[in-house]
Amino acid sequence: MIGSDAETSKELVAIKKLLILGLVNSGVKLAEIGAALDLDRTSVSRMFPKGTFARKTSDGGKRG
């Protein structure tokens, strides 16, 4: 089938992202995830939109 490999690839990338999000929500650090994937933590972070992994602060996200 034409496009089957592309569809499979897209699905695998989506699954990888969901697993990474699950790990981060469980408290695993990006550096640890990156090490397991043989990537730098910044490469893992760039797989997602900015702010996805922003640290929550005690002042409701306001910095200053």
Q: Could you state, in order of their start, the residue ranges of all structural domains in the chain?
A: 15-50
Report the C-alpha dihedral over residues 40, 45, 48, 54, rounded to 10 degrees.
Answer: 170
Query: Tokens representing 3?
Result: 């496009």
pLDDT 10s per residue in the chain (64 long)? 556 898 999 999 999 999 999 999 999 999 999 999 999 999 999 999 998 888 654 455 554 4
Look at residue 38 in the predicted model and tell me its pLDDT. 95
Report the C-alpha dihedral over residues 47, 37, 23, 17, rounded to 10 degrees.
Answer: 30
Report which of 57, 61, 33, 56 is spatially closest to residue 46, judged by C-alpha positions: 33
Look at residue 53 in the predicted model and tell me its pLDDT. 84
